Amino acid sequence: MLHSEYLLVLEHARSLEKKLLADELRGQAVAFLSRRWMVADGHLTSIQVPVLDSDQEVEVEIDHDRQTYFYRSPSCRGRVVTRPLSDITLYAINLDAWMDDVCDLLEIEPSRRARSREVIAERLWHLGDIRVGQTHRFAPIYLARRLPSSAADWQHALLSAKRPSQGIVLTAHDVDIELPNSHQTCGIGRLLVDSGDGITYDADLLHRLLKGTGADADDPDEYFDADIGELKLACVAEPKTFKGKQKDVIAMFWKARQQHSLKWSEVVTRTSCQKDPDSVFGSEWSRWLERVEGQRGHYRLRTRQ
């Protein structure tokens, strides 16, 4: 499948800033060019050619009209070797164009697409947030390159209190790796499939992956929108929008809502918030949080779970 072939090209590229040759595009240069996932950007000015038991660098000349290049053979005086110009064409990676297409295929709503995609340079990108079924809940979709080789970086990034939990991380192929915050990996070739009428996504697989968003994903009385900081609890009549450190703290408690409790000192460490709930939320903190009896310094969100 073309989209997974492209991601495999990125996986094997030494750097996304480096230009590639046709031999590095897995036989898909024409298809990538037509979709502008790759952009032709110059040509080699010299190449290595075999001479006896070694290689020798020779300069090339280009005939744009015939779309060929040629060089004078160093091993056979007077002989001119002609080859297709595409053999020495350099291609620049246009990752944004490819990610735009993936967002279209996954039907990520325009308002939910990430404005700033890069999370870790050349390693992790946030495509946007995908709607969970017919609910008002959304789950983040990430794209990862060489995921196993940058564990320390992505662990820190995906643990950020500012990022929603329970998302999907797309990879070039399936990888057996445990991600923080209940994120799951999925090989892009499994999620995007050829239906016969074109490329689409496997709706059943996507539904199974997104089931990890929790038992209350269809519950209009209890939800948290991590993008705008809006929290709705069944015990409170109206939703409340939190900002800044308040939003970070609520996000952390929402992610842990199925746990017994969180120790406030851990919340301080993760969010850099103030020393206690009263300092963060004021005297009304107990509308959303409750102290766990018998466990000093432990709190939980006042959900029905």
**144-187 confidence digits (pLDDT tens):** 999 887 777 888 888 876 777 778 999 999 887 878 777 888 99
- Give 51's strand partners: 54
Burial 201-217 (b: 16+ CB within 10 A, else e): beeeebeebbebbbebb
CA distances from 117 to 60, 121, 228 (A): 39, 10, 18
Query: Where residue 305 falls among pLDDT bands split at 50, 70, 90?
Result: low
pLDDT score of 259: 67
For the sheet with 223-225, list strands across it.
Answer: 223-225, 230-232, 240-241
Question: What residue has token string 């409170």?
Answer: 236
* Of the candidates 175, 176, 196, 195, the residue with the CA atom closest to the CA atom of residue 187: 175
Are 95 and 10 spatial neighbours (Cβ–Cβ below 8 Å)?
yes
Q: What is d(CA 165, CA 168) in angstroms, rounded to the nearest whole number? A: 9
Q: What is d(CA 304, CA 183) in angstroms, rounded to the nearest whole number? A: 23
pLDDT at 217 over 50: no
Encoded amino acid at 239, one letter: P
pLDDT tens per residue across span 98-107: 999 999 999 9
**224, exposed or middle or buried, with CB in 10 Å at 0-12, 13-18, 19+?**
buried
pLDDT tens per residue across span 40-96: 999 999 999 988 888 899 999 999 999 999 999 988 888 999 999 999 999 999 999
Cβ atoms within 10 Å of 142's Cβ, excluding its own: 25
Are 264 and 297 spatial neighbours (Cβ–Cβ below 8 Å)?
yes
pLDDT score of 216: 45
Give me the numbers of helices (H) and strands (E) for the chain, helices first please.
9, 20
Q: What is d(CA 187, CA 169) in angstroms, rounded to the nearest whole number? A: 8
Lowest-confidence segment of 92-96, 203-207, 208-212, 271-275 by average pLDDT: 208-212
Query: Where residue 213 falls among pLDDT bands split at 50, 70, 90?
Result: very low
pLDDT score of 25: 97
What is the distance between the terminal CA atoms of the chain, rounded to a whole angstrom?
42
Q: What is d(CA 285, CA 293) in angstroms, rounded to the nearest whole number? A: 16
Query: Where residue 18 falls among pLDDT bands split at 50, 70, 90?
Result: very high
Between 138 and 103, the more confident residue is 103
Query: Token pair of 22, please?
Result: 């046709």
Lowest-confidence segment of 176-180, 208-212, 268-272, 281-285 by average pLDDT: 208-212
pLDDT score of 206: 87
| Whole-structure pTM value | 0.67
pLDDT score of 228: 87
